Structure 1
Amino acid sequence: MKKINDLFFKLAELTLVIMLSAMVIMVFGNVVLRYGFNDGIISSEELSRFLFIWITFLGAIVTMRENGHLGLDSIVRKLSLRGKKIAFAVSNVLMLGCCALMFYGTLKQHGINASTRSAVTEIPMSWVYGVGYITSVAMGLMILGKLVQLAKGNFEETDLIQVQDSEEVAIAHTQGATK
C-alpha cells in the first residue's frame, strides 16, 4: 500500500512539474510574441489560467502529505497527550467535513460546468473544475488514514502536531535528497 501511495505522490509531483513548465512556456512565449512581434496566442492565456487552477489544487494535495499547510500550533503544543489527541481528531474531522463539502459542491456544479465551454478553447469547464473531485477525495483519504492511525494508537506525541517548523521542513528535504 505504501508503494502505491508513494507512486501516487510521485505522479502528482511529476504532473505539477509538467503543468508548471507548460504554463511558464505559454506565458513567456506570449510575452515574447506580444512585445517582440505585436502578436499573441489567445488560447495560451486561457490554458495557463486553467493550469494555474490545477497546480493550486494538486499542490495542496502534495503539501498536505508533507504537513506543509499553514497552521497554529502554539496552543496544541501546550496540551497534554490526551488534549493533543482530541485536538488532532477534531481538526481532522473538520477537515474531512470540508473535503465532503468540496466534493458535494463540485458535484452540484458539475452539470453546469459540463454544459459550459471556455471562451477560447471551448473546453468543457467540468475538465477545469473537476480537479475538485481529485482534491477532495485524495485529501479525504489522507485524513481518514490519519484518523484510523490515531484510533489504532500508531501516533507519537510529536505526530499529533500537524505543523512543521521551517527547520523540520529543511531537514526532511535534505534527507529526501540523499535517498
Structure 2
Amino acid sequence: MKNVLTIYFAALKVLIVSSLVCITLLIFLNVVLRYGFNSGLFFSEEISRLAFVWLVFAGAQLMLHENGHIGVDMLTSRVSPMVAKYMLVITQLLMLYVTWLFLLGSWKQTLINLHVGAPSTGVSMALFYGAGLVFSVLSASLIATQLIDNLRKPAGSYRPQRSDEEAHVLSSTETGVLK
C-alpha cells in the first residue's frame, strides 16, 4: 500500500511540474506571437486556466499529505497531550465535513456544466469542476486515514515532521512567544 501511495504522490508532483511548464510555455509563446507576429494562440488562456486549476488542487492534495499546510499551535501547545489529540480529532472531522460540502458543490457544478463547452476550445467545462471532485474524494480518503491513525496512536505521539532550519527556529523561541 505504501508503494501505491508513493507512486501516487510522485505522479502528483509530475502533474504539478507539468502544469507549471505548460502554463509557462503557453503564456510565453502567446506573448511572443502577439507582440512579435501580431497573432496568437486562441486556446492558450483556456488551457492555462485549466492547467492552473488542476495544479492548485494537486498541490493542495500534496500539502495535505505532507502536512505542509499552515498550522497554528498556539492553543494546542499549551494543553495536555490528551486534549491536543481530541482537538486534532475535532479538526479532522471538521475537515471531512468541509470536504463533503466541497464534494457536493463540485458534483452539482460538474453536472450543470457537463454539456457546456469552453468558448474557444469547446472543451467541456465539467473538466474544470471535475478537479474539485477528484480533490474531494482523494482528500476525504486521506483525511479519514489520518483520522484513523490519530485515533489509534496514544496521546502525545503526534509530531509533525520538521526540517533542521525549523527545529533551529523552534529551539530559539519559547512556546508561542518570540524572544
Do they superpose with TM above 0.5? yes
Counterpart of 2:43, as a letter, is S
- Tell me, yes or no, if the aligned pair for 2:26 and 2:44 is still in contact at 8 Å: yes
Segments of 5+ residues of structure 1 without an aligned counterpart are 170-179
Cα distance change of structure 1 residues 84 and 132 upon mapping to structure 2, 3 Å threshold: same
* TM-score (ref. length: structure 1): 0.86
What are the equivalent positions in structure 2 for 1:42-121 lying under 5 Å apart?
42-121=42-121
Please state how far the C-alpha of 1:158 moved relative to its aligned partner. Answer: 4.0
Q: Is the 8 A contact 1:149 1:155 kept in 2?
A: no
Give the residue type in structure 2 aligned to 1:53.
Answer: V
User: Is the 8 Å Cα contact of residues 82 and 155 (structure 2) preserved in structure 1?
Assistant: no
Following the alignment from structure 1 to structure 2, what is the Cα–Cα distance between the partners of residues 117 and 56? 22
The alignment of Structure 1 onto Structure 2 pairs a total of residues equal to 168
SS of 1:148's equivalent? helix
CA offsets per residue over residues 14-68 of structure 1, 9 Å max, x none?
1111111111100010111111112111201111011111111111001111111
* Counterpart in the other structure of 2:165: 167
Q: 1:54 to 1:155 in 2, by over 3 A?
A: farther
- Please provide the CA RMSD for this pair: 2.2
| Aligned residue number for residue 134 of structure 2 | 134
Evaluate the alpha carbon distance shift between residue 134 and residue 164 of structure 1 in structure 2; reply closer, same or farther with a 3 A threshold.
farther
CA–CA separation in structure 1 for the residues paired with 2:164 and 2:48:
31
Aligned counterpart, 1:13: 13
- Contact kept in structure 2, 1:99 and 1:140, CA below 8 Å: yes
Opposite residue 129 of structure 1, the aligned amino acid is: Y
Please give the per-residue CA displacement for 1:133-170, whole angstroms capped at 9, x wherever unaligned.
111111111111111112212675343x6x9679349x
Larger radius of gyration: 2
Aligned partner letter, 1:78:
R
- Partners of 1:110 and 1:158 in 2: CA distance: 37
State the distance in 1 between where 2:36 and 2:79 align. 60
More helix by share: 1
Aligned to 1:174: none
Shift in alpha-carbon separation, 1:140–1:81, aligned structure 2, 3 A: same
Q: Is the 8 A contact 2:82 2:156 kept in 1?
A: no
Q: What amino acid does structure 1 have at the position aligned with 2:116?
A: T
Identical pairs, percent: 32
| Aligned equivalent of 2:170 | none
- Distance change (3 Å), C-alpha of 1:8 and 1:156: farther
Q: Distance in 2 between matches of 1:122 and 1:155?
A: 53
